[in-house]
Homo-oligomer: A and B are copies of this chain.
Amino acid sequence: MAHQHSASPSAPDAARRSERSRLAIYDAALALVAEVGYPKTTIEGIAARAGVGKQTIYRWWSSKADVLLEAFLDLGEQAARAAGQEPHAIPDTGDLAADLKQVLRATVDELHDPVFEAPSRALAAEGVVNEELGRRFVAQLLEPSLQLYVDRLRSARDAGDVRADVDPRIALELFVSPLAQRWLQYTGPITYDYTDTLVDYALYGLTPR
């Protein structure tokens, strides 16, 4: 689960790893990103704030972004554990439009939550320019969420609410990507109205019926 310097020479012994330090580093990293921003967050700063030697960071992670990604994943897991069992699957009331609108409204709220905003923006930005990290970011954070849409759309297809020839992995992008872009690039305001509209446009198309 933790990052592996697998076949590297003289890899550290994960069994002897200090749990206390690991968690202190997560806390420090998230706190610093929130307080001073990602660019001004430094490895030295994280180490100092966590009361940890720099080497302890370099031993287990390969970069600032790496630390933050794990810290953020850990944060998500904690939140999930706190929230109880179910990892918010998309509701299936039979009304696809309503279900999607509801979930997207929840996403709108999340995107406005400052606790998530700073680190996820930082990671997204880093991922734009650093393909390796970008792919990890997507695989570990984004794709699992998107999969929920795939599932819901498949269910709708089975119910005849979505055309049979539609690829759900592409279809979901019609309403998810616009939201993502507005958030990432400040290309427009992010509101319930907006996401509701996206769902309607996507489901029923732009052309007259």
Nearest residue, chain B, Cβ from A171: B206
Interface contact B207-A163, CB-CB below 8 Å: yes
In the complex, whether A23 has a CB less than 8 A from a CB of chain B is no
Q: Which size class do A's interface residues fall under? A: 35 or more
Q: How many copies does the complex hold?
A: 4
In the complex, whether A35 has a CB less than 8 A from a CB of chain B is no
**Interface bits A175-209 vs B (CB < 8 Å: 1, else 0):** 01110111011111000001001100111111111
In the complex, whether A161 has a CB less than 8 A from a CB of chain B is yes
User: Which residues on the B side are within 8 Å of A169 (C-beta)?
Assistant: 188
Interface contact B124-A162, CB-CB below 8 Å: no
From B177, B187, B205, A203 is in contact (CB under 8 Å) with B205
In the complex, whether A7 has a CB less than 8 A from a CB of chain B is no
From B124, B138, B160, A208 is in contact (CB under 8 Å) with B160
A sample of 14 inter-chain contacts (CB < 8 A) reads A122-B129, A124-B128, A124-B185, A128-B128, A128-B184, A134-B185, A134-B186, A173-B187, A173-B198, A174-B198, A177-B182, A180-B185, A181-B184, A201-B205
